[in-house]
Amino acid sequence: MCRKWNTDEWKKKSKAARKNRNKTDSSGCTARHTGGSIGYEEHRLKLKELTGEEPAYMDVFCKVNLTAESKKKYFEGDKEVPLDFATGTAREAAEAYNRGLFEKYGEDPAQHMVNDPELWTQTQLLRQGGKQKGLMYGIGSSDIEYVVTGTYSSVSSSSSVAAADYAKSQEKVNELEQQLVNMQQSMDESQNALTLEMAQMKKMREDLAAFMREFRPSSNPPQ
């Protein structure tokens, strides 16, 4: 690990990650989400596998951004309670989208789980003063049509990997990375054991040499 962490490339990644972790959201808290290292696309796939149907986008968003306790209640079916988001930015984004759903589709609660990528874009731009700052919040670098609706846009469908293939390839990458880590760990352990054995052999040779010097017969033995 020391050899890996001491490279220029890793130091650069570490510096960038530290900077990102220390960013604050609108409430002054450091930005956090609770979805782990996988992206929105894979979270959508996992929810689909779990439920057997395409999830609503807000389910995907909540899977990534709710606190652990609130997430547990939400996916147990208690979706009407006040949701506890990990950051103020996530809460504001969800509230802006829900207001947009109410204004566009009316008071029917069933309509508030509509997947509307255009509305998400509009509400997030409005929330940011009409200016897009970097990647779209809640979407990242993914295809917004797929993340929100589960269907790739015509622009990206020709170049995007199929969802199932993407998930499998990502799992394979993670598996291979873990195998490399295990192999490196095994090699390090073997190297440590070899180093220890060599040190023990060196000590034995030194002890033997000292013993031979101490008990070596005199060059002029008594008659």
Q: What pLDDT, on a 0 to 100 scale, did the predictor assign at position 92?
A: 92
The number of folded domains in the chain is: 2
Count other C-beta atoms under 10 Å from residue 40's C-beta: 23
Task: Say yes or no: 141 and 176 in one domain.
Answer: no
> Which among 151, 156, 125, 157 has a CA at the least distance from the CA of 138?
125
Contact of 115 with 57, CB cutoff 8 Å: yes
Rounded to 5°, the CA angle 9-13-17 comes to 170
Task: Report the predicted TM-score, pTM, of the whole model to 2 decimal places.
Answer: 0.54
What are 37-53's pLDDT values in tens digits? 677 888 888 888 888 88
How far is 62 from 83, CA to CA, in rounded Å? 9
What are 53-76's pLDDT values in tens digits? 888 888 899 999 999 888 888 888
Task: Say yes or no: 33 and 105 in one domain.
Answer: yes
Task: Say yes or no: 171 and 146 in one domain.
Answer: no
18 or 21, higher pLDDT: 18
Q: What pLDDT, on a 0 to 100 scale, did the predictor assign at position 159?
A: 46
How far is 175 from 106, CA to CA, in rounded Å? 46
What are 85-131's pLDDT values in tens digits? 988 889 999 999 988 888 888 877 566 667 888 999 999 888 888 77
Q: What pLDDT, on a 0 to 100 scale, did the predictor assign at position 216?
A: 67
Q: What pLDDT, on a 0 to 100 scale, did the predictor assign at position 162?
A: 54
140: Cβ contacts below 8 Å, ≥ 6 apart = 39, 40
Average pLDDT of the residues in 24-35: 54
Over 60: is that where the pLDDT of 155 sits?
Answer: no
Over 60: is that where the pLDDT of 14 sits?
Answer: yes
Last residue of a domain, one of 130, 151, 172: 151
Q: Considering the domain boundaries, does residue 4 fall inside one?
A: no
Enclosing domain of residue 171: 163-214
